Amino acid sequence: MAKQEFSSDRDRVITVVLLTDGENNKGVSYDEFRARFLELQVETNMEVRTFPILFGEASSDELEEIARMTGGRAFDGRHTNLGSVFKEIRGYQ
């Protein structure tokens, strides 16, 4: 979806909010995501900022790395008001 949005408007800021409980039981693994993201970034020169929000037992190290790698920021949803987190994320756009 991000690639499609970027191709229609190259000046558009594309962001993803990632809510996770830390259980990866569906979809791609962290390593697959990292490889695909880096490949897409090289292929398209597209920036998709990702803002992970940690819940449960998620790996904060992996989420911090995803945020750093994408130009986003990780948040700890266990100790922060979710409304405040979304307002802060909105400020990055």
Indicate which CATH number applies to the domain containing 16: 3.40.50.410
Is residue 45 a contact partner of residue 14, using CB atoms and an 8 Å limit?
no
* Cα 19 to Cα 75: distance, rounded to the nearest angstrom: 10
pLDDT (mean) for 51-80? 87
Residues 5-64: tens digit of each pLDDT: 666 766 677 788 988 877 777 888 888 888 887 787 777 777 788 899 988 877 788 889
Q: Domain residues for 16? A: 2-91
Query: Can you give the pLDDT at residue 72?
Result: 92
Helix boundaries (H) for the chain: 2-8, 30-44, 60-70, 82-91
Query: Can you give the pLDDT at residue 74?
Result: 92
Domain count within the chain: 1
pLDDT higher at 69 or 23: 69
Query: Can you give the pLDDT at residue 51?
Result: 93
Query: Using CA of residue 3, residue 5, residue 6, residue 12, what is the dihedral sign?
Result: negative
